Amino acid sequence: MEAITLRESLIDSINTLPSNMLEEVNKFLSFLKYENSTESALNSYMKTEQFQKDRVSLHRTYEDLINNRATLFSEDEYSEKMESFVADLKLKYADN
């Protein structure tokens, strides 16, 4: 009996919400559905062979960074190096 009363009370409360509030509640509920589907997709991905390959690659990259076999550039450093690289390519292949 209490569940029915609570449900009716909830329905009455929802029906009396301002329209913009109801829109916000709908957005929130949609977000929850999205979060659940995203989590499901992530769980499915984690069971694939591609995930295992990506995991191995990520761990190798991490080990390379830790052991100074690779360098992690800041965004600015990376941009400068790429601009220089592209400029060098343009000079090298300008005649082609």
DSSP state string for 23-46: HHHHHHHHHHHHHHHHHHHHHHHT
| pTM for this entry | 0.44
Q: What per-residue confidence (pLDDT) applies to 20? A: 63
Number of domains in the chain: 2
CB 61 within 8 A of CB 70: yes
Q: Are residues 2 and 21 in the same domain?
A: yes
Q: pLDDT tens digit string along 32-57?
A: 666 566 667 777 878 889 888 998 99
Domain identity same for 56 and 69 = yes
Q: What's the CA gap between 70 and 77, in Å, rounded?
A: 14
pLDDT at 82: 93
Residue type, 58: L
Domain interval for residue 57:
49-96
Q: What is the pLDDT of residue 32?
A: 62
CB 26 within 8 A of CB 33: no
Q: Which residues of the chain have pLDDT under 70?
A: 1-22, 24-26, 28-29, 31-39, 96
